[in-house]
Amino acid sequence: MYRWITITLLTVALISVSIWGYHSNKQKNDLYVQAENEYQRSFHELTYNMDVLNDQIGTSLAMNSPDKLSPQFVDIWRISSNAHANTGQLPMGLLPIHKTEEFLSDLGDFTYQTAIRNLDDDPLTDEETEQLEKFYKQSGEIRDELREAQHLSLSNGSKWMDVEQALLNTDTDGKKDNDMVNSFQAVEDSFNASTEETTEESTTSTDTEEHSYKNVTGNDLTEEEALKKAEKIFGREDGTEWTITKSGDGALTPMYSVSYDENGERGYADLTVKGGHPLNLLISREIDGKQLSLNEGFEIASDYLSELGFDEMQLFQSSEYDKVGIYSFVYEDDGVRVFSDAVEVKVALDNGDITGLTANNYFKNHVKRDIPNPAISEEEARDAVNQNVTIQENHLAIIDDSQGKEILTYEFLGTRDDATYRIFINAETGAEEKIEKMTDAEINYNSVI
Amino acid sequence: MNRVHKPMIFSLTLFVFLSVFIFAKPEQTSAFSDQVIQQGAVGEDVIELQARLKHIGFYNGKIDGVFGWGTYWALRNFQYEFGMEIDGLAGQTAKDKLVQTTNYDKEKVKQEMYGTGTAPSGGNNEGGESAPVSSTNVPQGYSNNDIQLMANAVYGESRGEPYEGQVAVAAVILNRVNSPLFPDTVSGVIFEPRAFTAVADGQIWLEPNEQAREAVLDAINGWDPSGNALYYFNPDTATSGWIWSRPQIKTIGKHIFCS
């Protein structure tokens, strides 16, 4: 009797486990296939994008009339942006395909800039045509490599899900055990071969360029001197135990990082080796009940800046986030606001302690400037602003244009209905340089529920 | 007898009424605290400021307790109309003038703000002394959900690291968004396959703590302790040899940051 009950129970158990096992295995396979299909879609779309890109660039080289060129460039720009998005969805984290991504990004920038230009008055220069030819050649090379990869993957049934494993295992001859990986490696290598003479790693500059920090002056400090400086900046001359390290080769300017941990408070700062200027400062601790207003915090922040020797700084923006006030200051050069010389200060609104400072941009960009007089009057600049915008406030300002060059502008703050805009009109040419819609407070969805 | 006392009773009643009126009025109108209210502030004073400016038609936005651009222009126009110094700061003069010229019915405003008679209690808003506001400040160009998503990634990647290490991880995400080598959006960078281990193993979906959120806000507001890094790795668990070839900027906690 008991035997039969046991047998029945075990049989039932066995059957249920099998069903459960079957289901979870099926589920796992479904997910696997789904993830693989996502990768496959990105990959096949990318190769298709490359096909089209190469064709379109080739076509544009044969075009003559601006009427046709501009829409053509818009199309190339759109496709390159698609292709860039697709490269971002491939699991290549361990094998960066940066050359390909940089190519797509450069191509996008180039075609965008030329597409929005009036090509009737301002046709392509010889250098630009040359650049376009280079894009054509490169896109052809990438297309060929990708086509080969596509063919291999279709005929061998290679899986993207295996790529990660393959990236970790390298054969003795340095080849990876995966068609896809090898093809992408070939694409990257083709860049190295074909663009060697022109490659300038603009954005990923690896060598230490001290001149990229224009405003770092003084003698090189030893660790002891840097610590003295840190004690003064943090106001901790009472035997705090400091940790100090020096930055490595990759840093844009050599710096010391100092930190301390005391009574649940953590402080950290980056000081330049040259002169010991504070680039970053952060203090993290629990903040008690709010005692100070945002405005009182502002007084503290601006006193602190003058104490550290930042002169002529003007408040440009302030915000309160959960008992902390964050203040952005810009340098004011003879009535002109210089946006690239910004400094941010953080003040805890419980006792008014400074809990943060970042002056990175200030030390990078601040120089003695020779600011020209504006070529157009404020009235003329006002006329360049959309008639539906009511101008409320205006300043002279120096901003970076899209090429990163500093330009003098009229800055107008204006409203249209409920929205506020910041509009920059070039003080030289009267062109609209930049328009920003200001972000307003956001509904706190927690309080709505 | 009765005839004599009637005027007295009358005047007494009048006095009582008047005194109630006189004594009650300042109590109702002196709700502003002493602070100078400036753009970016949040809280009770801002609610009152907005309500009063709305009452006399300078402000037509939503009363949400956050001193944003709409409130700023309303205050400046108010200062202009009443011949005060136009600085967009609600100092004593401006507040006095507002109290003189407008009424503020706290209960009614609160009711309009929250739909019900009572303000929602607490919720996520710890530290009960600050009044719950129906909106929050967000940095230019970011929504609260963007911040939340980044906080999730930062928490998953670097909880247990020193604070500046968390800010540095958030800064790396933003540096990648600005780099041509990576996708152009926060979500694109975070969800790039194999880019972050916390995304790959699901730790990104842990509930982030307040510190991770603060770190993200600091990074968005311009702090970058990573020194412009695009990569970081944990030398104990790094699986790719390639990452060691990058020029290193600095080490924070367990992470090495490189360009």
What's B47's domain CATH number? 1.10.101.10
Chain B residues close to A438, C-beta within 8 Å: 69, 140
Distance from the A266 Cα atom to the nearest Cα atom in chain B, whole angstroms: 8
Please provide the DSSP assignment of A303-335 as one string.
Answer: HHHHHTT--SEEEEEEEEETTEEEEEEEEEETT
- Has residue B129 been placed in a domain? no
Q: What is the pTM of this model?
A: 0.80
Residues A64 and A70: their CA atoms lie apart, in Å, by: 11
Q: Do A204 and B230 touch (CB under 8 A)?
A: yes
Q: Do A325 and B35 touch (CB under 8 A)?
A: no
Find, in chain A, the residue whose alpha carbon is nearest to that of B226: A251
B239 and B148 share one domain = yes
Q: Which site among A285, A295, A345 would you substitute to test the B interface, given the most B Cβ atoms closer than 10 Å to its Cβ?
A: A295
- Has residue B24 been placed in a domain? no
B198 and B253 share one domain = yes
Q: Which of A314, A281, A322 is CA-nearest to residue A298? A: A314
Distance from the B17 Cα atom to the nearest Cα atom in chain A, whole angstroms: 38
At residue A107, the 3 state secondary structure works out as helix
- Has residue B77 been placed in a domain? yes
- Number of structural domains found in chain B: 2
B64 and B163 share one domain = no
Chain B residues close to A205, C-beta within 8 Å: 259
Question: Looking at the predicted structure, is the pLDDT value of residue B234 above 80?
Answer: yes
Q: Which of A289, A295, A320 minimises the CB distance to B36? A: A295
- Has residue B125 been placed in a domain? no
**pLDDT per position as a tens digit, B131-168:** 455 677 888 888 888 888 999 999 999 888 899 999 99
- Which pLDDT value is given to residue A192? 64
Find, in chain A, the residue whose alpha carbon is nearest to that of B38: A295
Helix intervals (H) in A63-212: 66-87, 98-115, 126-156, 163-168, 179-194
- Which pLDDT value is given to residue A176? 58
B167 and B236 share one domain = yes
Domain boundary among B68, B96, B114: B114
- Has residue B63 been placed in a domain? yes
Find, in chain A, the residue whose alpha carbon is nearest to that of B248: A250
At residue A184, the 3 state secondary structure works out as helix
B153 and B252 share one domain = yes
Pick the residue with more confidence: A324 or B19?
A: A324
Q: Which of A259, A318, A442 minimises the CB distance to B144? A: A442
- Which pLDDT value is given to residue A20? 94
Q: Which site among A82, A209, A439 would you substitute to test the B interface, given the most B Cβ atoms closer than 10 Å to its Cβ?
A: A439
B158 and B253 share one domain = yes
Distance from the B55 Cα atom to the nearest Cα atom in chain A, whole angstroms: 17
- Which pLDDT value is given to residue A445? 66
Domain boundary among B92, B114, B136: B114
CA A123-A126-A127 angle, to 5 degrees, is 110
Q: Do A447 and B129 touch (CB under 8 A)?
A: no
B110 and B177 share one domain = no
pLDDT by position in tens, chain A (length 449) = 788 999 999 999 999 999 999 999 999 988 888 888 888 888 889 889 988 999 889 888 888 777 788 888 999 999 999 898 888 888 776 566 778 888 888 898 889 888 888 877 888 888 888 888 999 988 888 888 888 888 888 887 778 877 766 766 654 455 556 667 777 777 777 766 655 444 333 333 333 334 477 778 888 888 888 888 888 888 887 777 888 888 888 888 888 999 888 888 888 999 888 888 888 899 988 888 888 888 889 999 999 998 888 888 889 888 888 888 999 999 988 888 998 888 999 999 888 889 999 988 888 888 888 888 888 888 888 888 888 888 888 889 998 887 778 889 999 998 888 888 999 999 988 888 888 888 777 776 665 44
- Report which residue type is found at B164: E
Q: Which site among B67, B172, B242, B249 would you substitute to test the A interface, given the most A Cβ atoms closer than 10 Å to its Cβ?
A: B249
B106 and B192 share one domain = no
Domain boundary among B114, B129, B156: B114
Distance from the B9 Cα atom to the nearest Cα atom in chain A, whole angstroms: 49
Q: Which of A93, A284, A344 minimises the CB distance to B222? A: A344
Full residue range of the structural domain in which residue B100 is found: 32-114
Distance from the A5 Cα atom to the nearest Cα atom in chain B, whole angstroms: 44
B70 and B149 share one domain = no
B54 and B102 share one domain = yes
- Which pLDDT value is given to residue A67? 79
Chain A residues close to B185, C-beta within 8 Å: none
Distance spanning both ends of chain A, measured CA to CA: 60
Question: Tell me, what CATH number does B231's domain have?
Answer: 1.10.10.2520
Q: Do A96 and B39 touch (CB under 8 A)?
A: no
C-beta separation of B255 from B158 below 8 A: yes
Chains A and B form CB pairs within 8 A to the count of 226
Distance from the A123 Cα atom to the nearest Cα atom in chain B, whole angstroms: 27
Pick the range with the lowest mean pLDDT from A259-263, A318-322, B103-107, B248-252: B103-107
Q: Could you give all domains of chain A from N- to C-terminal order, each with its CATH number?
A: 2-194 (1.20.120), 215-365 (no CATH), 378-437 (3.10.450)
- Has residue B223 been placed in a domain? yes
- Has residue B139 been placed in a domain? no
Phi, psi for residue A97 in degrees, rounded to 5: -105, 55
Find, in chain B, the residue whose alpha carbon is nearest to that of A346: B218
- Has residue B19 been placed in a domain? no
Chain A residues close to B179, C-beta within 8 Å: 203-204
Q: Which of B60, B89, B258 minimises the CB distance to A295? A: B89
Distance from the B259 Cα atom to the nearest Cα atom in chain A, whole angstroms: 6
Q: Which of B231, B227, B232, B161 is CA-nearest to residue A269? A: B227
Sign of CA dihedral A176, A178, A181, A186: positive
Q: Which of B33, B70, B246 minimises the CB distance to A418? A: B70
Q: Which site among A170, A208, A293, A364 would you substitute to test the B interface, given the most B Cβ atoms closer than 10 Å to its Cβ?
A: A293
Residues B31 and B49: their CA atoms lie apart, in Å, by: 10
Range B84-99 average pLDDT: 86
